[in-house]
């Protein structure tokens, strides 16, 4: 293949996510450096294809985001306003603080998401760097998930989400001491991680550990 361009299909890039969508990591696969771009697919109508979020909370990157429905049909909600979005619809959310989500109105709905912060050089988020680990979680290949997350942790040692996901992998690998230490740091950084951990099945291997119970208040 030419060093001037790269080609890949959304389908061959797909990997599962913990939320049930399928994620196509376009930016990472094609090594795009100027902007973030990924695609999300919901296999069933009624399922989230873009989870509710804004771009300022929880260390958000304040991105402007463009969503393009490339297959199926989605129902977008942006700051409480509902939008019907059949194939070919473009939804541009210019306000990073606006809450947005999209629900599949038809099976196999795919939404392309493009984002970056206006006026700044793009930097991939810690979440995106960690996301390849989710495919390994889905296949129960926890050692491979750990390897991905350990590398991201070296680059972002204090990121709460990276610490949390690393703890999940360590729990599944039987590394209770490391899992609890990293989860403790995650919770100290972002309190919401405590609530997530209470019901996260990745922590089932250490759920009976008194240190875990004390940490999450279970």
Domain layout of the chain by residue ranges: 10-116, 126-216
Predicted pLDDT of residue 64:
95
Predicted pLDDT of residue 16:
81
Taking Cα atoms as reference points, which of 73, 5, 64 lies closest to residue 37?
Answer: 64
Predicted pLDDT of residue 46:
97
Q: What is the pLDDT along the chain (218 residues), one digit of tens a residue?
A: 567 899 999 999 998 877 788 999 899 889 898 999 999 999 999 999 999 999 998 666 889 999 999 999 999 999 999 999 999 999 999 999 999 999 999 999 999 999 999 888 888 777 777 878 888 888 899 999 999 999 999 988 998 889 999 999 999 999 999 999 999 999 998 888 899 899 999 999 999 999 999 999 86
CATH class in words for 126-216: mainly alpha
Predicted pLDDT of residue 124:
75
Predicted pLDDT of residue 2:
67
CATH class in words for 10-116: mainly beta
pTM of the model: 0.75
């Amino acid at each position: 293949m030419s060093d001037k361009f790269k080609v890949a299909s959304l389908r061959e890039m797909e990997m599962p996510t913990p939320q049930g969508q399928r994620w196509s990591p376009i930016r990472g696969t094609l090594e795009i450096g100027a902007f973030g771009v990924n695609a999300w697919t919901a296999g069933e109508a009624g399922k989230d294809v873009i989870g509710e979020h804004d771009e300022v909370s929880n260390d958000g990157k304040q991105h402007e985001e463009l969503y393009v429905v490339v297959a199926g049909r989605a129902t977008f909600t942006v700051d409480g306003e509902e939008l019907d979005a059949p194939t070919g619809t473009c939804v541009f959310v210019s306000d990073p603080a606006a809450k947005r989500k999209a629900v599949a109105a038809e099976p196999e709905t795919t939404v392309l998401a493009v984002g970056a912060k206006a006026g700044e050089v793009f930097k991939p988020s810690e979440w995106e760097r960690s996301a390849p680990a989710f495919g390994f979680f889905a296949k129960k290949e926890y050692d491979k998930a750990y390897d991905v997350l350990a590398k991201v942790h070296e680059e972002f040692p204090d990121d709460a989400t990276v610490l949390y996901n690393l703890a999940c992998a360590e729990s599944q690998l039987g590394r209770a001491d490391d899992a609890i230490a990293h989860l403790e740091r995650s919770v100290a950084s972002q309190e919401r991680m405590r609530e997530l951990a209470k019901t996260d099945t990745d922590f089932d291997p250490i759920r009976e550990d008194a240190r875990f119970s004390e940490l999450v208040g279970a």
